[in-house]
Amino acid sequence: MLKSRRQRLLPFFETHDLDLLLIEHPVNLRYLSGFSGSEGALLLSPEQGWFLCDSRYTVQAAQEVGDLCVIEQAQRQEGVAELVRQAGGCRLGFEASHTTVSNHQGLAARLPGVTLVGLGPELDAVRICKDASELGLLEQVAGLASASLESVLPLLQPGVREDEFALKLEFEMRRRGADGRGFDFIVASGVRGAMPHGRASDKAIQAGELVTIDFGAVQNGYHSDETVTVAVGTIDERQQRIYQAVLEAHDRAIAAVKPGISCRELDAQARDHIKEQGFGDYFGHGLGHGLGLDVHEKPVVSPRSEAVLEEGMVITIEPGIYIPGFGGVRIEDTVAVTADGCRLLTKVSKQLVIM
């Protein structure tokens, strides 16, 4: 499986006339080698590969990186340079999107006469379509997170602080087997719901408020991402109208997901409906994003996206309305694109829940 993933990189060697390709970004390392540690390097030629790490990770790499030559090297960049010199490469590709200026300068200084060729987001895009193993892991972590929220949701009552609820949710995820939270949870109640990234605060939740909960777990390196908005006590007609507008936009977009639809067109399915309901000025972000080993991956689902959906992509659908001084609603599911539509990975019902 890992070898077949690395074969997806072969076109880069031809397109950019590369002799070698250097991978150091932890997410790409895990995808291409199986290594789950935080620091290492993968050097590839079209025919073979080497994995470099320091003594902290030698045993771990030997267990996780079974089909590559593992080399212990105290100074990783010097080890990479030595391998490049031994291999006789004169054009070395690197991850331009994940390499600092200082690291680039250090590598260039160690490799005079070697041309460093920066590869941008197209290199990360090799992860854009998930294989069967990845889809299984994504469905597993999404189900774990959904079940965790459903378990603790009854605790969302007037007087409970946003950060208290977020902590209980994180604990429940860990209790069910998550390696951790996928990102800082958003728990935004009342007027704070107008902040799309309103991380959980010490605000006490009040009766009559909508509460937006954006949450996710990470397990085996893969992330989940889901958002529910619930009502604590009775809410007014305007709050109900906003919720219904977002739910209908969410449902329309999910119904439109299929291979061949452009991400721009998919975004419009939700955005146009929100505009028709009179809330177009209050939906400022894109409809969604890819999900996998990173919380935010390609493709981007927005009015500016050039991407087209393909079978195997995993994306979020998360329309929202955010009205300053009043509050907001976001509803989000994660879906896997199938041959003729999509499959929901997240499991919490998106019908309005009144606590």
Residues 8 and 71 in one domain: yes
Residue 186 clears pLDDT 80, i.e. is over it: yes
Cβ–Cβ under 8 Å, residues 19 and 92: yes
Q: pLDDT, tens digit, for every residue of 222-234?
A: 999 999 999 999 9
Instruction: Report pLDDT for 15.
Output: 95
Per-residue confidence band for 88, with pLDDT thresholds at 50, 70 and 90 = confident
**Is residue 144 one of the residues assigned to a domain?**
yes
- The CATH number assigned to the domain holding 260 equals 3.90.230.10
Those residues whose C-beta lies under 8 Å from the C-beta of residue 72, and which sit 6 or more positions away, are 52, 53, 54, 55, 58
DSSP H/E element including 124: helix 121-124
Cβ–Cβ under 8 Å, residues 146 and 182: no
Residues 122 and 139 in one domain: no
- The CATH number assigned to the domain holding 41 equals 3.40.350.10
Instruction: Report pLDDT for 229.
Output: 98
Residue 264 clears pLDDT 90, i.e. is over it: yes
**Is residue 139 one of the residues assigned to a domain?**
yes
Cβ–Cβ under 8 Å, residues 98 and 25: yes
Cβ–Cβ under 8 Å, residues 335 and 224: no
What secondary structure letter does DSSP report for 114? P
Strands 226-232 and 314-317: unpaired
Q: Domain boundary residue among 78, 104, 127?
A: 127
**Is residue 137 one of the residues assigned to a domain?**
yes
Per-residue confidence band for 75, with pLDDT thresholds at 50, 70 and 90 = very high
Residues 276 and 290 in one domain: yes
Residue 89 clears pLDDT 80, i.e. is over it: no
Separation in Å, CA 303 to CA 38, 220, 309: 35, 32, 14
Q: pLDDT, tens digit, for every residue of 45-58?
A: 999 999 999 999 99
Instruction: Report pLDDT for 260.
Output: 98
Residues 87 and 175 in one domain: no
Specify the pTM.
0.95
CB atoms within 10 A of CB 231: 20
Cβ–Cβ under 8 Å, residues 306 and 286: no
User: pLDDT over 70 for what percent of the chain?
Assistant: 100
Instruction: Report pLDDT for 41.
Output: 97
**Is residue 354 one of the residues assigned to a domain?**
no
Look up residue 25 and give its amino acid. H
In whole angstroms, give the CA distance from residue 152 to residue 336: 26
Nearest to 207 by CA among 190, 195, 193: 190
Instruction: Report pLDDT for 140.
Output: 98
Residues 185 and 142 in one domain: yes
Residues 316 and 219 in one domain: yes
Structural domain containing residue 26: 2-127
Residue 66 clears pLDDT 90, i.e. is over it: no
Q: pLDDT, tens digit, for every residue of 96-152?
A: 999 999 999 999 999 999 999 999 988 989 999 999 999 999 999 999 999 999 999
Instruction: Report pLDDT for 24.
Output: 97
Instruction: Report pLDDT for 196.
Output: 97
**Is residue 349 one of the residues assigned to a domain?**
no
Q: Spell out the alpha helix ranges (H) of 203-354.
A: 237-256, 263-276
User: pLDDT over 90 for what percent of the chain?
Assistant: 95
Question: What are the residues facing 212 on neighbouring strands?
Answer: 188, 229
Residues 101 and 195 in one domain: no
Residues 93 and 140 in one domain: no
Instruction: Report pLDDT for 56.
Output: 95
**Is residue 92 one of the residues assigned to a domain?**
yes
Residue 153 clears pLDDT 80, i.e. is over it: yes
For the chain, what is the total number of helices (H) and then of strands (E)?
A: 11, 19
The pLDDT of 203-223, averaged and rounded, is: 98
Instruction: Report pLDDT for 67.
Output: 86
**Is residue 350 one of the residues assigned to a domain?**
no
Separation in Å, CA 100 to CA 82, 104, 106, 149: 20, 6, 10, 38
Q: Per the structure block, which two tokens stand in for 263?
A: 């991400």
Residue 65 clears pLDDT 90, i.e. is over it: yes
Domain count, the chain: 2
Residues 198 and 244 in one domain: yes
Question: What are the residues facing 93 on neighbouring strands?
Answer: 21, 117
Q: pLDDT, tens digit, for every residue of 241-258?
A: 999 999 999 999 999 999
Q: Domain boundary residue among 100, 127, 154?
A: 127
Cβ–Cβ under 8 Å, residues 23 and 8: no
Per-residue confidence band for 344, with pLDDT thresholds at 50, 70 and 90 = very high
The pLDDT of 272-285, averaged and rounded, is: 98
**Is residue 353 one of the residues assigned to a domain?**
no
Query: Helix-strand-coil percent breakdown of the chain, rounded to 5?
Result: 40, 25, 35
Instruction: Report pLDDT for 255.
Output: 98
Those residues whose C-beta lies under 8 Å from the C-beta of residue 128, and which sit 6 or more positions away, are 290, 297, 298, 299, 310, 313
Instruction: Report pLDDT for 54.
Output: 94
Residues 232 and 283 in one domain: yes
Those residues whose C-beta lies under 8 Å from the C-beta of residue 73, and which sit 6 or more positions away, are 52, 53, 54, 79
Residues 280 and 177 in one domain: yes
In whole angstroms, give the CA distance from residue 313 to residue 97: 21
Residue 194 clears pLDDT 90, i.e. is over it: yes
Separation in Å, CA 331 to CA 37, 121, 227, 286, 350: 34, 28, 5, 13, 7
Q: Domain boundary residue among 103, 127, 151?
A: 127
Residues 251 and 201 in one domain: yes
Nearest to 140 by CA among 93, 176, 104: 176
